[in-house]
Amino acid sequence: MVESRDLGTSPDEVQFRFRDDEPVDHGTVTVDSCCDQTNATAVRIEPGDDARLLLPFLDRLALVEVNFPAFTDGRGYSAARILREAGYTGELRAVGDVLIDQLSHMRRCGFDSFAPDKRLDEGDAARAFATWDNVYQRAADTRRTIADKRHEA
């Protein structure tokens, strides 16, 4: 099994990051490789991959990239939530066709870094990240929902 150094994004390509730790500075491996190797710390999920295959290895992972080859393919949102629901605390990076109007939903699903194929306008992105004053449903960001607020003592 070859560990591909070409796969994945480098820290330089990350445009937005909501973490204080040092980014992983080496490439990612495929989900299959990750399951076969005991030392991989960074992995890349393609839309057709089953994120649950990674659950036994979450302790050793520091970076999970979720690729969006087309923004209309929403499988990566479920992958992100599944990882966060399982307790993954490492970096979760959305890469590929990541656009302004997907940022806020991605953030709610647990993504904390973003490496868009095309750099985004900083002002538009700042507005997009601040989209939701309040939210209706529980998600990976563990924000208190509107319903929670309505019924707090």
Contacting residues toward another protein, per CB under 8 A: 47, 50, 71-75, 77-78, 81, 85, 99, 101-102, 104-106, 108-109, 121, 124, 127, 131-139, 145-151
Minimum gap (Å) between residue 17 Cβ and another protein: 19
Cβ proximity to another protein, 13 vs 73, nearer residue: 73
Minimum gap (Å) between residue 38 Cβ and another protein: 26
Sign of CA dihedral 30, 54, 64, 74: positive
- Are the beta carbons of 138 and 145 closer than 8 angstroms? yes
Minimum gap (Å) between residue 54 Cβ and another protein: 14
Cβ proximity to another protein, 14 vs 111, nearer residue: 111
CA 62 to chain centre: 12
Minimum gap (Å) between residue 30 Cβ and another protein: 18
3-state secondary structure of 91: strand
Cβ proximity to another protein, 25 vs 148, nearer residue: 148
Cβ proximity to another protein, 26 vs 75, nearer residue: 75
DSSP string for residues in 34-85: HHH-SS--EEEE-TTS-GGGGGGGGGG-SEEEEEESSTT-THHHHHHHHHHH
Nearest in space to 107 (alpha carbons), one of 65, 148, 77, 127: 77
